[in-house]
Amino acid sequence: MDTNEFSFKGFKANGFLMLFANFMLILACVALLIFFSQLSVWVIVIAVLGLIKSFFIWAGFFELEPNEARLMVFFGKYKGTFRETGFYWVNPFITKKKLSMRSRNLDVKPIKVNDKAGNPIMIGLVLIWKLSDTYKAMFDIDSQTMASTNPASGTSAVGIQTVSSRMNAFENFVKVQSDAALRQVAGQYAYDDNESEGDSITLRGGGEEINHRLVAELNNRLSMAGIEISEARLNYLAYAPEIAAVMLRRQQATAVIAAREKIVEGAVSMVKMALDKIEKEDIVKFDKADKARMVANLLVVLCADEAAQPVINAGN
């Protein structure tokens, strides 16, 4: 995968060592002002400059936890990505943009789309995403402007960017693209077998294949932003409210037909078994008319929804 990201190669120092050195510098400057300021004006100038330098040194300290990264930018020029965990000190004039590389969940609320057969359906998904390329995430999409804008009010707060605001900006980007990917994938498959027209894969029965298709589509769309989708799964699937009642009746009709087919199949088998048994045991002799009447009566009894009322023939 093409990327402009590279590791930070600039000077870095142990943070604790630089912290000790900075405290020593401050103590030395204070000592000069207290004990040697009367010797020369230059002593005061040196002490003041040392104190000013110590304030700049404070800006170079930072810490990094596992699965975090810092983008190093020196007056607008990208200097690399820092990924080493611990407490460090670098040039205080380098801007250190903090990013989280940890995995995050996103629950995409159900949206209305049309399936392959044109039926309106409600479909939603849940996905796991994380940053994979810090350069693309920060510089190939306008994440910094999005992070400087309050999503709720749309007001701008230029210069106020935190790791939380940046990650929220990425999440909004993922949400928009996931909606588009979900519409794209849902439109390629029918809801179920009734509209599949012979296709073996449907949204309701596709299972893992639909999920893999979603992951591939999302990664294709989000690669430009340096974002990787680890997993995506459908978590909601239903017909849209305007056709839900009609589709329910159709499903019920399909279920009734399937049940009737089973009932008839079983009834025919039982009638054949009864006739064979009677003839084998030589219980009674049937002509064709008697067999036809018996078959009709047995099928009525076995296939009826309600219990049949027997009519006893007492003979003459």
Question: What are the strands, taking DSSP E only, across the chain?
Answer: 12-14, 61-64, 68-74, 77-82, 86-90, 94-100, 104-114, 120-131, 227-239
pLDDT band with cut points at 50, 70 and 90 for residue 262: confident
Q: What integer is the mean pLDDT of 185-210?
A: 77
pTM over 0.85: no
The third-level CATH classification (topology) of the domain covering 104-239 is Tetrahydropterin Synthase; Chain A (3.30.479)
* End-to-end alpha carbon distance in the chain: 96
* 277/195: higher pLDDT: 277
Helices (H) and strands (E) in the chain, counts: 8, 9
* pLDDT for the residue numbered 217: 93
Assign 132 a pLDDT band (cuts: 50, 70, 90).
Answer: very high
Interval 225-258: pLDDT, tens: 999 999 999 988 888 877 666 667 766 667 777 7
Average pLDDT of the chain, as a whole number = 83
pLDDT of residue 70: 94
Phi, psi of 74 (to 5 degrees): -110, 100
Render the burial of 118-147: b for 16+ CB within 10 Å, e for the rest. Answer: ebebbbbbebebbbbbbbbbbbebebbebb
Are 120 and 126 in contact by the 8 Å Cβ rule? The answer is no
Q: Where are the domains of the chain?
A: 12-99, 104-239, 245-303
Range with the poorest average pLDDT among 57-61, 178-182, 286-290: 286-290
**DSSP structure string for 233-259:** EEEEEEE-HHHHHHHHHHHHHHHHHHH
